[in-house]
Amino acid sequence: MAVPTGPRGTALDEASPDAVVLDTDGVITDTARVHAAAWKHVFDDLLRRRARERGEEFRPFDTGADYLLHVDGRPRADGVRAFLASRGIDLPEQASRPGEDSVAALADAKDAAFRAALDRDGVAAFPSTVALVRRLRKDGIGVAAVSASRNCARVLAAAGVDALFDVRVDGVDAARLDLAGKPAPDLFLEAARRLGTPPGHTAVVEDSLAGVEAGRRGGFALVVGVDRTGQAAALAERGADVVVPDLGELG
């Protein structure tokens, strides 16, 4: 499938949405790389131990392919399950004894690693995204921040952009409302509901394959894929109407 091209700068103007829903990690804030590093820390520890115990070759977690294909944009536990399945590893959901590997233990370890990195290094918002959100607000267009992460509020506050968004829907809401994770469109649909705009009058901006697919499944007016990792063709295949390397091209 060809990557959608054309007058990217006018894509939002042509769609004329009443609201825009933006993914947080990788679209609003430069935290996708922090998430990828946290996943690598946790999975490599597991993979190294299993390789040593079995006398097998250690195949580390790839912050490119493994991250993008299996964990990017998904709730933590779903990401653990997807990556383990890709390596043929079967672990219990919960540990039956202290120190036992499990889906829950790996998800918790990843969360701890991410929070430690966030506290140590901080986080920045992409200037082009901030500029776009300010323009949308000036034009009277509602804006929402969406994330599968329970740390979304903490990330937006750390980046100093939490006050820019009319609505936030995150992993805390997903757990409370029993919303399915991406590629299901539940998070985006809840954001549109809170903004008071139907999906057909709302645009979605995403950088993950699962997120773009969720936008397409939800029947949104426009799905914009942000390609920061060289996966433009894959974003188009999952349903992006237009793919841009940076949101400055939509300004």
Active site residues: 23, 25
The answer to whether 245 and 5 are in contact (CB under 8 A) is: no
Rg (CA), the chain: 18
Give 3-state DSSP helix, strand, coil % of the chain, rounded to 5: 50, 10, 35
Query: Residue 217 is encoded by which pair of tokens?
Result: 């499944």
Which residues in 100-128 are b (16+ Cβ under 10 Å) and which e? Answer: ebebbbbbebbbebbeebbeeeebebbeb
Residue among 70, 108, 73 at smallest CA distance from 89: 70
Backbone angles phi, psi at 94, to 5 degrees: -125, 145
The CA distance from 43 to 62, in Å, is 10
Helix (H) or strand (E) holding 244: strand 242-244
Q: Identify the CA nearest to 195 among candidates 220, 159, 225, 226.
A: 220
